[in-house]
């Protein structure tokens, strides 16, 4: 049985869906954000911890060139986001990691930045890959102004009006970030150096804080530029400040990450599966406030997706298609509210019944319904974060018998048999680190260069080969004896042994296959971060939005409820 960090989570794991469902690429590739996504968790902690954010420095010229410092008092510990703002040529703006210049570069730093610190940071942070961090820097990031929306929003505010809904994309943002780096890169503070008792001592919390503050800066920057253009300029309406998120894009580099970090993958999948297992057992009555909220959120989701007409979503259903699917889910939910039946059947666990009915229609519909159901219950918020500080190491057990190793493989890796590695299409691709692109890429085996540096991401193929070779040996042999004669299997044996007690470590995919769809693993990770508006640009990368609809710094300061931004529609009629 898989052990989780609390007794209740361990119990839930026994009731949760198994890996045969949760690790299917179709399941991972249709993921949606939930209340336990990283961005949602950050906002909750900022509010509950009474964090206070202020613009300590704002030194920008009329074009928005200069620097700003956002001071964050986390009820004791202090960090600051230092932002260096430029204006680069339009043809220099791109989503690629290999870009050489950006409109915005930023760093999240522990403590209060001195003038001497600022000079050092300017010399290095603005160079990104060519710079080096000091020991106080936690996160580095960079972003560009949106070529479609930044000037439009500035011009609207300068003329004394708010943006018009039909002129703003349904994935709107003012800045598009291209990276948030941490955990030792360029000399940044390693995550272990932050400390478990620090407010940012949860994986990805520092990145999420940096992104939230950069999104705040984007609105402040637009207002600043508008005021510089006109004395009659107005501020962004609060609804627009919430709706406008932070643009982002992701590429192939995310795919090797979750394959090479299986314990992290297990924690991230459990972040969705355990709350779902919990909520499906809830006996919400037809007149309960919980069910009323389910109905309200489903209707809000329908409006949200019906607005998504300005960007493509292939190979996933378009927003209006999802809105149409939601009509039936809303009808079921309202039926239960009115009569206590779902699709004509009396039920005691309405959440489970709605989940099952949605699954019969489409996996995309069920994922939306599941996000809504999980949204209703906040009782697991603290427990979920305990999952994230997981062991991210493997260890070989040379004394284990081959018989025991084989039993583990037969139990946990039976899915490997679904791939026929005798067929060339199943090994048509290989993964390598591209020096030119500075990130992982796929090559065509037998044609492209780089095979000598192939990344070991073909887990299914490695396990299949290991099963074959183990079958030729006595089950009484030890793993150590076997590896002394077959050292090429060392890595996959160590992996199998180390993951034996975990449930969700292996995505049931073959990244070497010609028809492998990287978008599935990418979308899963982006949903865990809390991103939405999935806009694939090819089979290999997609654009998304982070913090769209999220509370602003002002909202958090004023105590406005911060857990009510799931599927928040675009503002309409704001003047």
Per-residue pLDDT tens digits for 312-359: 889 999 999 999 999 999 999 999 999 999 999 999 999 999 999 999
- The residue among 343, 285, 254, 288 whose CA lies nearest residue 526 is 254
What pLDDT does residue 168 have? 85
What pLDDT does residue 94 have? 62
What pLDDT does residue 504 have? 98
What pLDDT does residue 166 have? 84
What pLDDT does residue 217 have? 98
Largest Cα separation within the chain, whole Å, is 84
CB 234 within 8 A of CB 574: no
Q: How many CA atoms lie within 13 A of 361 on its CB side?
A: 23
> Which tokens in the block code for residue 480?
């150590």
DSSP string, 487-519: GGGHHHHHHHHHTTT-SS---S--TTSTT--HH
Triad 276, 277, 279: Cα angle to 5°: 65
What 8-state DSSP symbol labels residue 163?
A: P
What pLDDT does residue 574 have? 77
What pLDDT does residue 95 have? 59
Residue ranges of the chain whose pLDDT lies below 50: none
What pLDDT does residue 93 have? 61
Phi, psi of 514 (to 5 degrees): -65, -30
The residue ranges of every structural domain in the chain are 38-251+553-558
What pLDDT does residue 555 have? 97
Query: Element (H or E) spanning 224, and its range?
Result: helix 205-229
Per-residue pLDDT tens digits for 187-242: 999 999 998 899 999 999 999 999 999 999 999 999 999 999 999 999 999 999 99
């Amino acid at each position: 049985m898989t052990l989780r960090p609390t007794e209740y989570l361990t119990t839930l794991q026994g009731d949760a869906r198994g890996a045969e469902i949760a690790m299917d690429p179709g399941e991972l590739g249709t993921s949606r954000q939930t209340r336990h996504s990283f961005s949602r968790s950050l906002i909750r902690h900022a509010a509950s911890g009474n964090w206070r954010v202020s613009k300590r420095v704002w030194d920008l010229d009329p074009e928005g060139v200069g620097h700003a410092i956002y001071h964050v008092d986390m009820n004791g510990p202090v960090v600051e986001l230092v932002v260096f703002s430029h204006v680069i040529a339009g043809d220099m703006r791109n989503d690629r990691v290999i870009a050489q210049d950006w409109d915005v570069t930023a760093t999240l730093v522990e403590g209060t930045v001195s003038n001497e610190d600022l000079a050092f940071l300017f010399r290095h942070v603005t160079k990104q890959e060519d710079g080096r961090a000091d020991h106080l820097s936690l996160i580095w990031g960079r972003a560009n102004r949106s070529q479609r929306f930044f000037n439009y929003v500035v011009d609207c505010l300068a003329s004394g009006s708010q943006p018009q809904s039909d002129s703003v994309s349904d994935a709107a943002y003012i800045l598009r970030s291209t990276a948030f780096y941490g955990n030792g890169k360029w000399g940044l503070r390693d995550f272990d150096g932050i400390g478990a008792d620090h407010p940012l001592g949860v994986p990805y919390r520092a990145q999420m804080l940096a992104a939230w503050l950069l999104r705040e800066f984007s609105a402040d920057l637009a207002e600043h530029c508008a005021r510089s253009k006109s004395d009659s300029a107005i501020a962004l309406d609060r609804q627009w400040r919430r709706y406008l998120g932070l643009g982002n894009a992701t590429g192939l580099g995310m795919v090797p990450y979750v394959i090479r970090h299986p314990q992290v993958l297990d924690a991230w999948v459990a972040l969705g599966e355990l709350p779902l297992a919990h909520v499906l057992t809830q006996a919400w009555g037809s007149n309960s406030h919980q069910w009323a909220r389910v109905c309200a959120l489903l209707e809000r989701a329908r409006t949200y997706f019906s607005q998504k007409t300005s960007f493509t979503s292939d190979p996933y259903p378009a927003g209006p298609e999802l809105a149409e699917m939601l009509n039936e889910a809303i009808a079921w939910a309202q039926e239960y509210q009115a009569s206590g039946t779902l699709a004509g059947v009396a039920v005691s666990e309405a959440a489970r019944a709605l989940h099952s009915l949605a699954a019969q229609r489409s996996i995309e519909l069920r994922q939306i319904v599941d996000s809504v159901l999980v949204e209703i219950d906040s009782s697991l918020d603290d427990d979920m974060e305990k999952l994230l500080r997981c062991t991210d190491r493997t260890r070989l057990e040379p004394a284990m018998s081959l018989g025991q190793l084989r039993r583990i493989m037969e139990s946990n890796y039976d899915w490997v048999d679904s791939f026929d590695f005798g067929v060339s299409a199943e090994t048509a691709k290989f993964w390598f680190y591209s020096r030119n692109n500075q990130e992982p890429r796929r090559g065509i085996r037998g044609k492209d260069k780089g095979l000598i540096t192939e990344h070991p991401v073909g887990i299914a193929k490695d396990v299949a080969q290991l099963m074959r070779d183990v079958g030729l040996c006595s089950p009484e042999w030890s793993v150590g004896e076997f590896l002394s004669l077959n050292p090429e299997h060392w890595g996959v044996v160590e992996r199998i042994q180390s993951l034996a007690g975990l449930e969700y470590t292996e995505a049931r995919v073959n990244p070497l296959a010609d028809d492998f769809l990287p978008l599935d693993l990418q979308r899963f990770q982006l949903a865990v971060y809390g991103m939405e508006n999935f806009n694939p640009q090819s089979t290999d990368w997609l654009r998304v939005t982070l913090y769209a609809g999220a509370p602003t710094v002002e909202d958090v300061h004023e105590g406005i409820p911060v857990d009510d931004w799931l599927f928040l529609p675009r503002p309409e009629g704001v003047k």
